A = this chain, B = another copy of it.
Amino acid sequence: MKSAEQTIAEAVAALDWSREPQGLYAPIGYTLSSGGKRIRPVLALLAARMFGGQDSDVLPAALALEVFHNFTLLHDDLMDRSDMRRGRPTVHVRWGANTAVLSGDQMLIEAYSLLARVPADRLPQVLRWFNEMATQICEGQQYDVDFEQRDDVDIRDYIHMIRLKTSVLLANALRTGAYIAGADEQHYNTLYHIGINLGLAFQLRDDLLDVYGDPATFGKPIGGDICCNKKTYLLIDACNHAQGETAEELRRWLRADTFRREDKIAAVTDIYNRLDVRAHVETDIEAYTQQALGQFDTLPDCPEREQLRQLADQLLNRTV
């Protein structure tokens, strides 16, 4: 059997965006051709294979999740004014803000058009889950925006936000794949919880790598979150633990209007080091990772389970 990665890559490549009007569809083709790891549809496909599902039954939902994910990136880049994504100019830079709005809207509709091809007896539940997931992701995005204006965000708020913004998509990909393949409720719920914990560990690791990652492999410049005061796990944890002089120093950097990028990154990293922030986040990453990986044992013992476990492991072991 073809690998899940290969099957998904071919299915994404087979989507046709050459139709008119090209002003609407070319930016969609551009967005989807920029690669990425296609983690979400691969998770859905492997989860389906684990329960003996046919690829053709699960592919529409798997592709819907990938198109949806790329839609969120397109609109997020517009709202964040991000100029580059995966080494290329973003849609609003290349075609303008209005195109980013309208082609993004059409991508969301395309995700639902793919979803409508799910076998009819599975469709109502898959559609309800998809809607719930999409709603949670928009809510997560809104909380992320709200947090920028709030001084009282604690770790629990933050975990709630990244659960919405990152985890539910991975979780729903796993659950939907298993459900379409006819898995028991107990199994597809287990996969959902694996996805939630995987997403939390993954996002916290991303926060960690922004400060402590290897510039050669991280893919983004180190310190981006520090420069823009992004309320990550690390910053919230530092604010919680900083006292006296250190708290004052941290506040000064957060309020600073003009600074040399490397000075702020070095100073805030030094504060994090003094407060043991790295150890705190690594403890939580390890806990979520163990929760995710441990739950695999309750799933049916089969090659796809091990492939999924390996994929989860890879996701979580990016070089620090």
The stretch among A137-145, A247-255, A278-286 that forms the contact with chain B is A137-145
Given contacts A101-B101, A123-B124, A139-B24, A131 and B145 within 8 Å (CB-CB): no
- Asked whether any CB of chain B lies closer than 8 Å to the CB of A105, the reply is yes
Interface 0/1 of A110-136, CB less than 8 Å to B: 101101100010011001101110110
A109 in complex: contacting residue of B20, B106, B123, B134, CB < 8 Å: B134
Interface 0/1 of A80-106, CB less than 8 Å to B: 000000000000000001100110111
Residue of B nearest to A132 (CB): B113
Which residues of B have CB within 8 Å of A38?
none
Residue of B nearest to A68 (CB): B109
Docked complex Cα distance between A138 and B109 (Å): 9
CB within 8 Å of B: which of A143-157?
Answer: 143, 145-146
- Asked whether any CB of chain B lies closer than 8 Å to the CB of A108, the reply is yes
Which residues of B have CB within 8 Å of A112?
112, 127, 130-131, 134
Taking a contact as CB atoms under 8 Å apart, the answer to whether A127 and B138 are in contact is no
Taking a contact as CB atoms under 8 Å apart, the answer to whether B98 and A145 are in contact is yes
A142 in complex: contacting residue of B97, B102, B130, B141, CB < 8 Å: B102
Q: Chain B nearest CB: distance from A120 CB in Å? A: 5
Taking a contact as CB atoms under 8 Å apart, the answer to whether A78 and B101 are in contact is yes
- Asked whether any CB of chain B lies closer than 8 Å to the CB of A219, the reply is no
Given contacts A112-B112, A116-B128, A79 and B101 within 8 Å (CB-CB): yes
A75 in complex: contacting residue of B101, B139, B143, CB < 8 Å: B101
Copies per complex? Answer: 2
Which residues of B have CB within 8 Å of A123?
123-124, 127
CB within 8 Å of B: which of A11-35?
Answer: 20-21, 23-24
Docked complex Cα distance between A142 and B24 (Å): 6
Docked complex Cα distance between A124 and B101 (Å): 27
Q: What are 11 A-B contacts with C-beta separation under 8 Å? A: A21-B139, A75-B101, A79-B102, A102-B145, A105-B105, A105-B138, A106-B138, A109-B131, A109-B135, A113-B128, A116-B131
Q: A24-B142, A79-B101, A116-B131 are in contact. List 18 more A-B contacts (CB 8 A).
A: A20-B139, A23-B142, A23-B146, A24-B138, A75-B105, A79-B98, A98-B145, A102-B141, A104-B105, A106-B135, A106-B138, A109-B134, A109-B138, A112-B131, A113-B135, A115-B127, A123-B123, A123-B127
A residues with a Cβ closer than 8 A to B are 20-21, 23-24, 75, 78-79, 97-98, 101-102, 104-106, 108-110, 112-113, 115-116, 120, 123-124, 127-128, 130-132, 134-135, 138-139, 141-143, 145-146
